[in-house]
Chain A
Amino acid sequence: MKRTHTSAILALVLVTTCSVEVFANADRVFAKLDGNFRGSGSSITDSSGKKRRVSCQLANTYDKKSGKLKMLGKCASSQGSSRVRGTITHKNGNVTGTYISLRANVDMTKSTGKSGSNSLTIYSSFIDRSNGELYEIKQILQLTRAGFQANFFAFDKKSKKYESAGVLSFRRK
């Protein structure tokens, strides 16, 4: 049965530094994310806070000229499946984009990010329209030999720390 999914699966917004090196890193990482990927792992998918097994497939297209990476995909847990889509852009070393959430009724309020030589780190905030609560998410995309690994963290207001919310390993199809 379909249930709402949480934020943590795919948050791909990035703000990079203005340096040329960062620009080159971002361009390289974006280029490596171009293509079709299939991944699996576990993630928190609802308000119960329990981690569930999740599978995703993504079709990413990177336009080098505009620095835009478009994503189209589908994720599923034993509770159902949802389509995911989004766009992130890097320009002059800055990474901006749209937070992709499987969770319904949420509005993204802020998204910043940076690029390393083989990774992207994204911080996002959003408000759940149903209860007005603010959520903060950190996502780290690490390039691997087969594809990339996405690590998700949710900010825990009690411990005031980012706690692990899930990890998905993607391999190129």
Chain B
Amino acid sequence: MWSLGFGLERIGLLALKFPKFFSVILIMACILAGMSLTSLRFDGNVTAVLPEDSQAYNDFFEQKKLYRDYARDITIIVRSERLMSAAGLEDLRSLQLDVAITDGVENVTTLFSIPRPDPQTGVFENFFPEFIENDEIASKLITELLDKQPQASALVVPKENIAVIQLTIESNAPNKISYQTYRNIKQEVLDLKPDDFDILFTGLTPLGLTVVEALVTDQMRLTLIGLFLGTGIALFVFRSWLAAIVCAVPPMVTALLTIALFAITGTPLNYLTTILPTLALILAFADGIVLYYRWQQSNVKSSHFAENLTIAIKRVGPASALTSVTTALAFLSFSFASSSALKDFAYLGVGAVFTAFIAVIIGLPLAAHWALALGAVKQGRVSKPIFEKLGVIVHRVVFPRPVIISVMAVLLVVGLGFVHNLIRPEYRITDYLPKHSDTKKAETIANKSLQGGSILFVSIPVADQQDIYGIENRKKLARSEEALIKLFGSARVVSINALFKQLKSETAFNAVAEELQSVNQAVRSGYVSKNNENMLISVRLPSNQSIVDTAAQVREIREVLADAGIAYPVISGLPVLMAEEFTTLIEQLRTSLLIAIGLGVVVIGIATRSPLMAIAAITPNLIPILMIELVIFFQGGAVNLSQVISLTVAFGIAIDNAVHVINVLDEARRSGLGIRDGIRSAMSEVGPALGASTLIICVSTLVTQISVMPMVPTLGKLMITTLVIALISNLAILPANVLTMRELMPNLIGRKKLKGP
């Protein structure tokens, strides 16, 4: 028969038996891990979690092939009090020219690039003259531009003194160096700009680099401050430097090995996985402190410190092993999602959890062993645990009314389950940008003032493949554009039709068509596909728009285009990709959460060899998750990717409470106690320990609040709330369920599995 922790605690006992060997192994592992850190990589791509085999994903990349890679576009937002004056506009023009000749820049567009073709001859002329003589002319020109070409409002906002320089990074710059290319361009622009020009950068490349830089900073800060915080908690709990140092060994080893896992497997740290080393570190602290706590308790009673350590491992080890299994299963549930990045997250999460377990079960006993060998451990007094009365309070509340509590719990689950179905998935790219970053500021301005920072593309197959700018194609494009303008307004919709609309003769059309054939590919591919078989209409959307709204707009686009007789349009772009894929992905993750719950309960059933215990653990562990969903529902009813991941991880940790309660109850039963006495004993023993470990994890988790990545503090807050609710529900509802089942099924529970008093 296996123990509650599947015998995994024996690894710790083995380490104590061969301390020198295991110490060398551990040190060697740490050295190798440290050496591997040089190959650690970071990925700032916020779409990296999307499934790679979906229609929307294929359309997105097909559009890149047909037209161009819009990820290489960078929007430079220029702000200055004098920007709309003649001198300000001339400085903007100079900056545009300087940006255009900067290395790595393929094309630059500003309001000065806007053409004004002659309506009769089609001869191109710029809308703006080569020199703007005075402020009055400047103002008049801008007003006229916005009046005649509303799409230009994405390039200039006179009321807010904002103008845009849109640049494209050279397409021959490989993806790997595009961040470096962008860095160089950014530095050059900042060097060249007039002093009173305020410059902000946005676009997928700046956004990705911002995320990467935040990930690097965050990883250092979270790890170091997490270690500091955990050591501080150990010092607070034990009031001993030795204890603090011994308890800090497992988390340090965990942090190092977990980060090395990424380096060794070649998996880059991204905005999702960045939390894993911190999370593993927190788990290692919590488990380590519980183990040390048990050892210290024994040391008060007996000075056989080495024996006490063995007993502590035997006592705490199984529960630690089982909690690691349940937390690992919670992570593993992400592997059911159809995204390789989430599968990586799942497997690395499992790796991180087991790394934490190994670091605790080997690292802490070894640290304690060497402390003993150095004579640093002395018998002392232990202050009373702060949650000493928690178990007593709970059984005073639960024992008189177990059935009522159980029934209420079931009703609560049913009621909250209804809310669970009302919650809709959500994803906003801006939610993943570091707080207070310039990129976030730029994206906010783009959304508020520049018609939106995101672009949806509608690709229309041409009617006449022989003459791309011929009358049939122009009519089809005009019809499509008109339909889209009705939905989004003329300021948000851009196509080559804006140019055609200005022409009054066929001579002019022919002249413009000839001119368009000779323009730069980067410009041309904004309107026509490389194979001349499709025409493109771009629609600007706010990047902070809900994916639910985008999905609805995509449906509307399909409808209006169908009404306009446009067949086979391809609707793509990042907002469409996110709307279609994140909806599916978040739904999959919500299923993963249910799978995690199911697996957790099954594992408890297997470990305790009691299916009824597993059933008793269902409601107390569902309630924390459903309660959080209720809060999310009241906050707007939308659950995002990070929230659903947080809930799953939190569940994996929260169910640990049930494991500890069942573990102690199991032992009480084995020692011959009846159910009521067993529960009373379990509550008295496990209540304070769970209160303390929840406090430790919650305080350690506070480190997430310093992260600049918005997802990480969200994860921290949700975890803390879930853990607190889980503590209460496992101390109150779990015993109530066991007692209720005994009431309802006395034969089954009372006589066979759980002996009655």
Which A residues contact B (CB, under 8 angstroms)? 1-4, 38, 40, 42, 48, 50-57, 73-81
Contacts and interface: CB of A to CB of B under 8 A. Distances in A.
B101 to A, nearest CB: 4
Contacts of B96: 78
A75 B93 CA distance: 14
Given A50-B130, A76-B100, A81-B101, A2 B93 contact: no
Given A50-B130, A78-B112, A81-B108, A2 B97 contact: no
B303 interface: no
Contacts of A2: 107, 518-520, 523
B595 to A, nearest CB: 55
6 shortest interchain CB distances as A-B pairs: A76-B100, A55-B97, A2-B520, A78-B112, A81-B100, A74-B101
A81 B107 contact: yes
B126 interface: yes
A78 B126 contact: yes
B93 A53 contact: yes
B519 A75 contact: no
Interface in B122-154: 124-126, 128, 130-131
A80 B100 CA distance: 8
16 contacts: A1-B113, A1-B115, A2-B520, A3-B518, A38-B98, A50-B130, A52-B130, A53-B130, A53-B131, A54-B97, A55-B98, A76-B101, A77-B97, A78-B112, A78-B128, A80-B523
B477 to A, nearest CB: 18
A168 to B, nearest CB: 11
B520 A80 contact: yes
A162 to B, nearest CB: 22
Which of A52, A53, A73 gathers the greatest number of chain B CB atoms within 10 Å?
A: A53
B94 interface: yes
A24 B124 CA distance: 47
Which of A4, A78, A79 gathers the greatest number of chain B CB atoms within 10 Å?
A: A78
Which of B101, B124, B126, B515 gathers the greatest number of chain A CB atoms within 10 Å?
A: B101
Interface string B91-121: 0011011101111010110101101000000
Nearest to A75: B101
Nearest to B516: A1
A76 B523 contact: no
A55 B100 contact: yes
Contacts, number: 71
Given A78-B93, A78-B96, A57 B115 contact: no
A50 B110 CA distance: 20
B94 A40 contact: yes
Given A1-B124, A4-B518, A78 B97 contact: yes
Interface string B188-232: 000000000000000000000000000000000000000000000
B519 A76 contact: no
Contacts of B102: 57
Contacts of A1: 113, 115, 124, 515, 519-520, 523
A57 B518 CA distance: 23
Interface of B: 93-94, 96-98, 100-103, 105, 107-108, 110, 112-113, 115, 124-126, 128, 130-131, 515, 518-520, 523
Nearest to A56: B101
Contacts of A52: 130
Contacts of B97: 40, 53-55, 76-78
B101 A55 contact: yes
A149 B130 CA distance: 21
Nearest to A58: B101
A76 B113 contact: no
A34 to B, nearest CB: 19
A38 B115 CA distance: 27
Contact of A79 (B94, B101, B126, B131): B126
B126 to A, nearest CB: 6
A55 B113 contact: no
A75 B523 CA distance: 17
Nearest to B123: A48
Contacts of B128: 78
Contact of B124 (A3, A54, A57, A77): A3
A50 B105 CA distance: 26
A81 B101 CA distance: 7
B92 to A, nearest CB: 11
Contacts of A3: 124, 515, 518
A74 B99 CA distance: 11
Contacts of A73: 101
A59 to B, nearest CB: 9
Contacts of B518: 2-4
B115 A51 contact: no
Given A2-B523, A50-B130, A55-B97, A76 B108 contact: yes
Contacts of B125: 48
A76 B519 CA distance: 14
Given A3-B518, A74-B101, 10 more contacts: A1-B515, A2-B107, A3-B515, A40-B97, A48-B125, A73-B101, A78-B96, A78-B128, A80-B100, A80-B520
B138 to A, nearest CB: 15
Nearest to B129: A50
Nearest to A79: B126
A80 B101 contact: no
A44 to B, nearest CB: 11
Contacts of A50: 130
B101 A78 contact: no
A54 to B, nearest CB: 7
Contacts of A80: 100, 107, 519-520, 523
Contacts of A55: 94, 97-98, 100-101
Nearest to A51: B130
A107 B124 CA distance: 25
Contacts of B131: 53
A79 B518 CA distance: 12
A55 B115 CA distance: 20
Contacts of B520: 1-2, 80
Nearest to A4: B518
Which of B96, B97, B108, B124 gathers the greatest number of chain A CB atoms within 10 Å?
A: B97
Contacts of B107: 2, 80-81
A170 to B, nearest CB: 12
Contacts of B100: 55, 74, 76, 80-81
A42 B125 CA distance: 17
B562 to A, nearest CB: 33
A57 B192 CA distance: 13
B144 to A, nearest CB: 17
A12 to B, nearest CB: 18
A38 B100 CA distance: 12
Contacts of B105: 81
A72 to B, nearest CB: 10
A74 B188 CA distance: 15
Contact of A38 (B101, B112, B515): B101
A52 B124 CA distance: 14
A57 B125 CA distance: 25
A136 to B, nearest CB: 25
A78 to B, nearest CB: 4
Contacts of A48: 125
A42 B97 CA distance: 12
Contacts of A75: 101
Contacts of A56: 101
A9 to B, nearest CB: 12
A51 B130 CA distance: 8
B523 A57 contact: no
A2 B98 CA distance: 16
A113 B102 CA distance: 31
A73 B515 CA distance: 25
